[in-house]
Chains A and B, each alone.
Chain A
Amino acid sequence: MDVPPAGHPVWRQLLTAGIRYQLDFFAAKILLGWLLLKVDSDPSEEMLAECAVSLQHLFAQNAQLPCVQHDLVEILGLSVRAGTPEPVEEVSP
């Protein structure tokens, strides 16, 4: 499964939706712990975009890992079920 671009709403959903995904990728969980803290203290569009880029970069750099592939299925599957719209913009990492 390909890693969605940083502009895909799934990354923003991870940072803001309050849904606790069942992730396997240890590094993603640690990073998300920190990014959620940053977004909580500064929920601006700029901060959300910056954190989405960090998250997407981590997944893209480790896309070959089975746990990352598992997490993509988890994230994108829930995203589809939640009716997340298609991405409206693409942000370069």
Chain B
Amino acid sequence: MSGCLLPLDEVARRIAGGQVLLVAGSADLLRQLPSGTWIGGSVPYRETGDEGAVPRDLLHVTQLPEDLREVTAKVYDATSVRDVYADLAGRDFGVIIIPASSPTHLEFALHAPGYRGFAVRPLVGWISGSQLDGPEGELASVFCGATGEEVHDGAVVLQVSLPPGQVADVGVVNIFEQGDGEVIAFPRDGFDVTTAVVDGMERNFSDFVREKGLDTRLPLVADYYGVMVNVSFQAVDPVGRLVRFYSPVFAGLTYRHARPVGDYAARLEAQTPSALPGRLVFSCTCILNHFYAESRRRGARGLRGPLTFGEVAYQLVNQTTVYLTVNDLPADPADRSGSGAAGRTGTAGTAQA
């Protein structure tokens, strides 16, 4: 299990006791937590275990292992966030939280793969959000427990060093793969799209989506050397003839609309690994999976992390469950030959359709 729901006073007690925590919940509760080694982000909806109920008086808490060698929390802004990977040099992994729709979110989403040291160390995390039916203009927040800062535009990162002989791996549960439909490309990077090149023909993408009757619960999918990366639809505006996504599309990549998945919830359950390679440390799940699976039950097979407006698995991804495990390295170098099944155990990778 990677997390649980706790009342404010219990979370405060754990922080005071020195636990290293990732905390998700309402900003009102997060503001009341004491200083300590924790980072947090606002999330409007949480897995509850009870059909339909969302306990606004509870916080989702992920406790990191107690035997960590070193932990440092750092706050970035929209400019310094480009150092996030380089700053993990010498560490074993990082956890990042970024407020949705902030300039830092846009900057990270569009440019992270070009940052120095990209992907050299595992980076996982989530995009925090605000209540969907909350007050107009309510901003998503992230919190740094070490400094007491609440940030609406920035990112907070927990940089973690593991004990010797341990290594962190990133995994992604993605139920989508590219369908057999049109090949779609975009002339420029961005979250908002007007023009696309569909099977070689330039046209308005909003018109295409509506004419084809695309099911916008299913994302566009790009193939990154065998890793399927989703771009989820946020809105199709027929008046402005604009399509908005939860993560950017990139010029040069080719996309296809995802193949239908049938029973969404059943597919999610089936794609979630029954046994993880190592000890589960963290997980988070896209809020769209939560809605489209028409389920507010607990996350599949122990992946009970916070609900997100985007996940980070090295880079921003969508409509997935992202998890991080910690594994013991083989003591004998000969065991690391990689041949056969043993070499694949503990592999960071994807569980895909």
Contacts and interface: CB of A to CB of B under 8 A. Distances in A.
A17 B330 CA distance: 33
A32 B224 contact: yes
Given A58-B119, A58-B120, A30 B227 contact: yes
B120 A24 contact: no
Contacts of B167: 64-65
A51 to B, nearest CB: 12
B75 to A, nearest CB: 25
A66 B99 CA distance: 35
Contact of B225 (A29, A57, A68, A72): A29
Nearest to B224: A33
B225 A70 contact: no
A86 B204 CA distance: 50
Interface stretch (B6-14, B240-248, B336-344): B336-344
Contacts of B172: 26
A67 B120 contact: no
Interface stretch (B36-44, B65-73, B299-307, B345-353): B345-353
Contacts of A66: 329-330, 335-336, 338, 342-347
B344 A34 contact: no
A56 B346 CA distance: 21
A33 B119 CA distance: 12
A28 to B, nearest CB: 8
B337 A57 contact: no
Nearest to A58: B120
B252 A25 contact: no
Contacts of B250: 37
Interface size range of chain B in the complex: 35 or more
Interface in A49-91: 54, 57-58, 61-62, 64-73
Given A1-B337, A61-B120, A23 B314 contact: no
Nearest to B317: A30
Given A67-B344, A69-B343, A26 B338 contact: no
Contacts, number: 120
A70 B347 contact: yes
Contacts of A20: 225-226
Q: Which of B114, B315, B349 has the most CB of A within 10 A?
A: B349
Q: Which of A22, A61, A66 has the most CB of B within 10 A?
A: A66
B225 to A, nearest CB: 4
A80 B81 CA distance: 41
B338 A71 contact: yes
A24 to B, nearest CB: 5
Given A30-B314, A67-B338, A25 B344 contact: no
Contacts of B346: 65-67
Contacts of A64: 167, 329, 336
Nearest to B122: A27
Contacts of B329: 64-66
Given A64-B336, A65-B167, A70-B343, A26 B350 contact: yes
A39 B168 CA distance: 30
B283 to A, nearest CB: 15
Nearest to B123: A27
A67 B224 CA distance: 18
- Top 9 nearest A-B pairs by Cβ distance? A33-B224, A70-B338, A69-B338, A67-B347, A26-B348, A70-B343, A27-B119, A32-B225, A29-B225
Interface of A: 1, 20, 22-34, 36-37, 40-41, 54, 57-58, 61-62, 64-73
